Amino acid sequence: MSFSTLGLSQPLLKAIQETGYTEPTPIQAQAIPLIIQKRDVLAAAQTGTGKTAGFTLPLLEVLSQSKPNMNKYQIRALVLTPTRELAIQVHESVKNYGKHLPYRTAVIYGGVGINPQLAAIRKGVDIVIATPGRLLDIAGQKGIDFSKLECLILDEADRMLDMGFINDIKRLMKLMPEKRQTLLFSATFSPEIKKLASSLLKEPALVEVARENSTGEQIAQVVHYVDKHRKRELLSQLIKTKKWEQVLVFTRTKHGANKLTKQLEESGIKAAAIHGNKSQGARTKALASFKAKEIQVLVATDIAARGIDIDQLPHVVNFELPNVPEDYVHRIGRTGRAGNVGEAVSLVCIDEFDLLANIEKLIKKEIKKVDIPAFAPDPNIKAEPIQKGRSQKSQSPQNKSRTRSNRPDKKENHESKERRRGNSRTPNSKRNRGERS
């Protein structure tokens, strides 16, 4: 099958050809025709299978079929994402595939000045890619008009509709016309999230190209058992002895990411950290340096699990397993993308045995265990409870088992942070409500 059989116009086919792609991925082959037919779609596909192009290409095709009269502040399409990094990635995709079409786009997220974003919308845009907190900020200042909105897309919908974002989504939905096309894309969907999504979509077409919550077969997964206090030593040895040149390492907390980065630097390994407490400039610089292979290791928290798109990233390491099993799927999905092979290594201490069991239950697969004799765990060490952050009393009734509030890396609401700092004033509000991701 070729892209020319999916109903895409010549400008889009030309852009696809220029990117070097020749055949659509399964998610693209199934979703693109449905979206062009203006159906609501609920789509689940593994990370790295081309789901971003799966909605970007048909969105641009649908918009090209009409040319409504648009007033200032009005937009035709909106893509919502949970993180800044993912918003930037989707924006780049829209620009790349739409470069032969006359559409204007804007990317909106917190952590940076709001005035340039207001100015961009004021000049007139067709497509906005945004994170919900900052978009609500702009909507509150009457800086955007949804009355002509034709299509709403929620990317990484499982997190978007989880308890941290559902209220924001509902507030935004009230500002949008009922007659519109709505698309939900994600790598994973729980039954609870599917049920919740059904209330937002009208007779949706369900597209699933991989077993729910599965991991890519092209990703070699391995577990090394090691005592917690020796993880850093083992990681350094793996990087040096195996000559890993580009490694994405996940920690459970922001403090842990900073600490590990410092330790790696002290052992002669170039590293940088990326997490919610870093400024947008610092995050962008670290990611750019990692992509350019100027640094060897990027240490990240789960905020980076959504949106980091690095061609042929060979290695992902779980320095600490995530508290939420689904996040394991997203983490290791940063490697083995677009048909390339990748390796996902997890360093597991005795405290994390239950977390590992939950992950294997979710992915319906036992991960290969490889012992490293020099780092054999001490049998006398007993398991200690893993700190899970804030109280679980605030669990969402829709998804009690997957609450994000118990994760120490749950990015702090920038609204409360900025209120304490008092440094984000805008002309029309005392405090600027920032991004929550």
Q: What is the pLDDT of residue 388?
A: 60
Distance CA(230)–CA(64), nearest Å, equals: 57
**Same domain flag for 93 and 223:** no
- Tokens coding 361: 């239950």
Q: Is residue 82 part of a domain?
A: yes
**Same domain flag for 66 and 168:** yes
**Same domain flag for 237 and 321:** yes
Domain containing residue 55: CATH number = 3.40.50.300
Distance CA(364)–CA(387), nearest Å, equals: 26
Distance CA(335)–CA(305), nearest Å, equals: 11
**Same domain flag for 23 and 128:** yes
Last residue of a domain, one of 357, 375, 393: 375
Distance CA(125)–CA(155), nearest Å, equals: 20
Last residue of a domain, one of 157, 180, 208: 208
**Same domain flag for 194 and 274:** no
Q: Is residue 285 part of a domain?
A: yes
Q: What is the pLDDT of residue 395?
A: 37
**Same domain flag for 196 and 223:** no
**Same domain flag for 245 and 350:** yes
Q: Is residue 417 part of a domain?
A: no
**Domain count along the chain:** 2
Distance CA(114)–CA(100), nearest Å, equals: 29
Distance CA(110)–CA(340), nearest Å, equals: 33
**Same domain flag for 155 and 201:** yes
**Same domain flag for 241 and 185:** no
Q: Each residue's pLDDT tens digit in the chain (437 positions)?
A: 789 999 999 999 999 999 888 889 889 999 999 999 999 999 887 666 788 999 999 999 999 988 887 888 999 999 999 888 889 989 999 999 999 999 999 999 988 899 999 999 999 999 999 999 999 999 999 999 999 999 999 998 777 766 478 888 889 999 999 999 999 987 666 676 677 677 788 899 988 876 555 566 778 999 999 999 999 999 999 999 999 999 999 999 999 999 999 999 999 999 999 887 888 788 888 888 998 899 999 999 886 556 677 767 899 999 999 998 888 888 888 887 766 788 999 999 999 999 999 999 988 899 999 999 999 999 999 999 887 643 333 333 333 333 333 333 334 344 334 333 333 333 344 333 334 44
**Same domain flag for 150 and 19:** yes
* 104 contacts 126 by C-beta, under 8 angstroms: yes
**Same domain flag for 194 and 292:** no
Q: Is residue 403 part of a domain?
A: no
Q: Is residue 413 part of a domain?
A: no
Beta strand residue intervals within 301-349, DSSP E:
315-318, 342-348
Distance CA(417)–CA(167), nearest Å, equals: 19
Q: Is residue 284 part of a domain?
A: yes
Q: Is residue 428 part of a domain?
A: no
**Same domain flag for 235 and 143:** no
Q: Are strands 297-300 and 77-80 parallel, antiparallel or unpaired?
A: unpaired
Domain that holds residue 288: 219-375
Q: What is the pLDDT of residue 429?
A: 40
Give me the sheet containing 247-250, strands edge to edge: 271-274, 297-300, 247-250, 315-318, 342-348, 219-225, 368-369
Q: Is residue 17 part of a domain?
A: yes
Query: H-helix or E-strand containing 380?
Result: none
